[in-house]
Amino acid sequence: MPLLGVNIDHVATLRQARRGLEPDPVFAAYEAELGGADIITVHLREDRRHIQDDDLRRLKEAVRVKLNLEMAATDEMVAIACQMRPEMVTLVPEGRQEITTEGGLDIVGQMESLREKIRRLADTGIVVSVFIGADAFQIEAASVIGAKVCEIHTGPYAEIFYTHGRDEAAPLVARELERVDAAGALINELGMVFNAGHALNYYNVQAIAALPNVRELHIGHAIVSRAVFVGLREAVREMKARIMAAAEPR
């Protein structure tokens, strides 16, 4: 069964709207863990729009499950990660004007720079994941530069699911699922771990959770949005239940 990584960035987004003290991402992490989260994910952005450096320090001390730090592949972020030492770092592309991450990392276009940063992170004992599209060239490049994990960008699947039938059996949705599945198979063939995430929600997650060998699903916005109505612990519990049901043998 895939593990559930809960991204709590948008708890900090709400706090930063008032530049206040609440809601506290650390308390959110506790609630997510009690709901069944296997991993806590945060994205420390270069512009610090939601998660702050102090949040990361406090989360590292408080979180009782694996902490996954999403970050741009910059010298500043690598230095912070090497100091904080989360269990996993996920390298993602980052643009100042984007609302959320809009695409996968271009590994092919920056192999030497990424290889050196991955080496620095790995030397401190951090497992390095790369967030990429379901593209064979990018997956093969990830293997060459030393990534241990590839997180496949499920945004294209989620968009097609929403606009073309909202059913995993719809032809275009099935085709996109096949792309993600094939990417996962190649990742495993090359000796890396297959994770997936982005734009997954309570309606489209089941088909991704049912894919063979997917190790972790990283989900944030949908869970925090649901939490507005039922609380974070219950929102995580509901998502975990859907993942578990989908992963059961059919």
Q: What is the pLDDT of residue 248?
A: 82
Give the C-alpha separation, 12 to 49, whole Å. 9
Calculate the average pLDDT of the chain.
Answer: 96
List Cβ neighbours of 199 (8 Å cut-off, separation of 6 or more). Answer: 154, 155, 157, 158, 159, 221
Given the residues 10, 33, 43, 218, the one annotated as active site: 43
pLDDT, one tens digit per residue, over 152-167 is 999 999 999 999 999 9
Residue 99 scores a pLDDT above 70: no
Given the residues 10, 31, 33, 70, the one annotated as active site: 70
pLDDT over 90 for what percent of the chain? 94
CATH number reported for the structural domain that contains residue 187 in this entry: 3.20.20.70
Residue 196 scores a pLDDT above 60: yes
Give the C-alpha separation, 69 to 202, whole Å. 23
* Amino acid residing at 249: P
| Rg for the chain, CA atoms, rounded | 17
Give the C-alpha separation, 195 to 131, whole Å. 9
At residue 247 the predicted structure's pLDDT band, cuts being 50, 70 and 90, is confident
Residue with tokens 């092919």: 108
Residue 244 scores a pLDDT above 70: yes
Average of per-residue pLDDT across 193-205: 98
pLDDT, one tens digit per residue, over 23-80 is 999 999 999 999 999 999 999 999 999 999 999 999 999 999 999 999 999 999 999 9
Given the residues 10, 50, 198, 218, the one annotated as active site: 198
Number of domains in the chain: 1
Angle at 134 between CA 155 and CA 188, to 5 degrees: 125
Q: What is the pLDDT of residue 191?
A: 98
List Cβ neighbours of 132 (8 Å cut-off, separation of 6 or more). Answer: 104, 105, 107, 138, 139, 142, 150, 151, 152, 153
DSSP-derived secondary structure letter, 52? -
At residue 94 the predicted structure's pLDDT band, cuts being 50, 70 and 90, is confident
Q: What is the pLDDT of residue 10?
A: 96
Residue 20 belongs to what domain range?
A: 3-247
Average of per-residue pLDDT across 84-88: 98
Using an 8 Å Cβ cutoff, are 83 and 66 in contact?
A: no
Average of per-residue pLDDT across 118-126: 98
15-42 burial string, b = 16+ CB within 10 Å, else e? beeeeeeebebbebbbbbbebbbbbbbb
For helices 136-145 and 111-123, give the axis angle rounded to 10 degrees: 50
CA-nearest of 103, 104, 70 to 89 is 70
Q: What is the pLDDT of residue 100?
A: 55
DSSP-derived secondary structure letter, 212? T
Average of per-residue pLDDT across 83-93: 98
pLDDT over 70 for what percent of the chain? 96
Residue 250 scores a pLDDT above 80: no
- Annotated active-site residue 10? The verdict is no
> 165 by DSSP, 3-state: which?
coil
- Annotated active-site residue 70? The verdict is yes
Residue 2 scores a pLDDT above 60: yes
